[in-house]
Amino acid sequence: MTEVLKENSLITLDEAKGWLGIDVSNTDYDFKLITFINSSSDKIEAYLDRKLCKKEYTARLDGNRNIRLVLRNFPVSSVNSIAVDHKWDFSDPVDPDNYRWSEDGVVTLKQSLLPRGNCNVQVVYEAGYVTPLSSIQIGDTLPSAIKMACIEFVKYLFSLDSDERYGISSRNKQGQSISYASGIPSEIMEMIEDYRRIEFDTTMAALDTF
């Protein structure tokens, strides 16, 4: 039975071993640790409501008769193309001189309003942080708070697996019913709270004018 780190893994196997005091040459725990790293990375991304590893993303957005779009993933390092098409062809991109974008993912068009439509706007862009397996290895590195949150989460899951008492949140008087803490521990959520995606009001989102 084998397991591999996913592209969105926030730490390496050797980093996890180092923080757990496991020799890197010891492969006894590799399957569990890789599973814990993948699970922790997925849960952290879900909590932050955005993808973290740096790569090219393609977003399909609804036109809203506004001149602004807000991309889900950030920091944005480039916007490669924007196209508007009700038939979803997207073969005629908007001239790059007619829009601007900011690192936090706000895109503003210079002239035309985006026509209302269902997924009629396609944006291809690069965003995220350099992580161990991200497809782009140039740019902003993963913030230390997010990395440490993943490390602490993996340590928590490893301890929970190693000690059946770890993580118990309640037990009845007879010891017959036991419930376990689930999801991300609150202290880990606090470490990354400032990195959660927030919903922008596109009518108010600020960006330098042309």
The tens digit of pLDDT for each residue in 125-162 reads: 999 999 999 999 999 999 999 999 999 999 999 998 87
* Bridge partners, residue 57, by sequence: 125
Residues 6+ apart with CB under 8 A from 201: none
Q: Binning pLDDT at 50, 70 and 90, where does residue 194 land?
A: very high
Mean pLDDT score of the chain:
88
Asked whether residue 77 falls in the same domain as residue 181, the answer is no
Q: Which range marks the domain in which residue 102 is found?
A: 55-127
Q: How confident is the model at residue 177, as a pLDDT?
A: 43
| Coil vs helix vs strand at 30 | helix
Q: In this structure, is residue 135 part of a structural domain?
A: no
pLDDT for residue 206 is more than 60: no
> Could you give the residue ranges of the DSSP H alpha helices within the chain?
13-20, 30-48, 144-162, 186-192
Asked whether residue 37 falls in the same domain as residue 60, the answer is no
pLDDT for residue 119 is more than 80: yes
Q: Binning pLDDT at 50, 70 and 90, where does residue 180 land?
A: very low
Q: How large is the average pLDDT for residues 183-199? A: 93
Q: In this structure, is residue 205 part of a structural domain?
A: no
Hey, how many other C-beta atoms are within 10 angstroms of the C-beta on 137?
10
Domain total in the chain: 2
pLDDT tens for each residue of 51-78? 999 999 999 999 988 899 999 999 999 9
Asked whether residue 59 falls in the same domain as residue 116, the answer is yes
Q: In this structure, is residue 177 part of a structural domain?
A: yes
Distances (CA, A) of 35 to 7, 70, 98, 106, 178: 13, 33, 45, 35, 24
Asked whether residue 79 falls in the same domain as residue 30, the answer is no
> Could you give the residue ranges of the DSSP H alpha helices within 30-180?
30-48, 144-162
Q: How confident is the model at residue 209, as a pLDDT?
A: 56
